[in-house]
Amino acid sequence: MTDLFAGLDDRLPALHELYRDLHAHPELSFQEVRTAGIVASRLRGQGWEVTEGVGGTGVVGVLSSGDGPVVLLRADMDGLPVLEETGLPYASTRTAVDAAGNEVPVMHACGHDVHVTCLLGATAQLARNRDAWQGTVVAVFQPAEEIGGAPAVVQDGFAERFPRADVCLGQHVSPIPAGAVGTRPGPVMAAADTLRVRLFGRGGHGSRPESTVDPVVLAAAVVTRLQSVVAREVAAGSLAVVTVGAIHAGTKANIIPSTAELHISVRSETAAIREQLLAGVRRIVHGEAVAAGADREPEVVVTETFPVTANDPAATATVLGAFTDTFGAGPVFTLPQPVTGSEDFAAFGAALGAPSVYWLFGGLDHAAFDGLDQAALLENGVPSHIPSNHSPLFAPAPDPTIELGVRYLLTAAAPWLAVRSGRAGDGRED
Ligand code: ZN
Ligand code: ZN
């Protein structure tokens, strides 16, 4: 299509090496010091203007090639507290101390190492082939996507300190065959709220439950009854999920503890369903506490909120058109509905008043799918035996995922960067 891709083949071995290094050295949210250091030094080496420490550990690179639109390209850098079980030769064996002071294993279980590698590949291509485009690119390597770090970048004066983007572009590697790429206009990722619920019982000896209010039994009743919120209260066909992902209570078999804690993830597609789900959770938590005879009202705290990630329809049509022109219609899909995962990427478009487009691309070997085609995957979802993001077994196939991830970023940006085909050769100094 254009010479934005010139030299990419020669760069791939180094990108694969970078990927293996990042994968073996994951860092928790807001602790991405090593990763940020690598990003900053690579960007500088490529000739980008670099700002470090944006919103904590964020790195922002700016590169201009004459007048033209400003395109924001974004990657996230954090890993997760997951013990890697992929068995890969470059698997992580790292641990770190989390925000609560606990030592935890760390893994790039969401594939953000793929995102960093692909964006560094794209920035290298943009720097090398500067004569092939016009405008300005702002490359954002943000911290802490997993806990909603984008607002920290925005609140660090992002809109004032860097060229204001005309479009914001972001991507995520997904548990679908490598080569597939797509998105949808409008909502593409769900809103997510994380709730921390503390249930208060009355502790005592395990041999005399009659003298206690057992918060373990209360927690079990809450977990069971929460399953009815989506199943019985939300209309069929609406995107809604309530998951209790963590439950903590007690220390020993013969001690009835005095409290129990639940961590709950609530996903929704619209503000109305979000309110309905949150109200349902609160009602059940309080109702079960009353039913248990608890002396004290439970505490319900919303600890994280991610808004719906919505794609601008016109910009999305432009990106999907560029993908189809470059890769053919076959691998390019339009999602029938938003996915239930969530993102903080919308914070950039919201802060800049700019349209944004966020797409998903495949990262897995075709062999894993036993001949399932793209249409079947879109219709029925990813089969449950295939490890997805956040699984200890999630293992993107570097070849061809990394090369394609670089190509998607460049292809999506191209319509805004007035890309010329063929050699420009205007002799501009780099
Ligand atoms: Zn994730
Ligand atoms: Zn992710």
Burial 74-90 (b: 16+ CB within 10 A, else e): bbbbbbbbbebebeeeb
d(CA 125, CA 132): 10
CA of 110 to the centre of ligand 1 (A): 4
Specify the pLDDT at position 420: 64
Specify the pLDDT at position 427: 38
Residue 343 designated active-site: no
Of the candidates 3, 32, 84, 145, the residue annotated as catalytic is 145
Residue 78 designated active-site: yes
Specify the pLDDT at position 373: 78
Give the DSSP per-residue string, 285-298: HHHHHHHHT-SSPP
Q: What value does the mean pLDDT of the chain take?
A: 94
CA of 310 to the centre of ligand 1 (A): 18
Query: Which of the ligands is closest to the CA of residue 390?
Result: 1
Q: What is the pLDDT of residues 93-147, one digit of tens each?
A: 999 999 999 999 999 999 999 999 999 999 999 999 999 999 999 999 999 999 9
Q: What is the pLDDT of residues 344-393, one digit of tens each?
A: 999 999 999 999 999 999 999 888 887 777 777 777 788 888 999 999 99
Specify the pLDDT at position 367: 82
Q: Looking at the whole model, is its pTM more than 0.95?
A: no
Specify the pLDDT at position 1: 47
Specify the pLDDT at position 385: 86
Of the candidates 78, 193, 312, 343, the residue annotated as catalytic is 78
What count of other Cβ atoms lies within 10 Å of the Cβ of residue 294? 19
Chain center to CA of 83:
19
Q: Which two tokens stand for residue 411?
A: 């292809």
Query: Which of the ligands is closest to the CA of residue 363?
Result: 2
Specify the pLDDT at position 378: 78
Segment holding 76, helix H or strand E: strand 70-76
d(CA 192, CA 268): 7
What count of other Cβ atoms lies within 10 Å of the Cβ of residue 309? 26
d(CA 265, CA 267): 7
Specify the pLDDT at position 423: 43
Low-confidence ranges of the chain (pLDDT < 50): 1, 422-430
d(CA 284, CA 143): 35
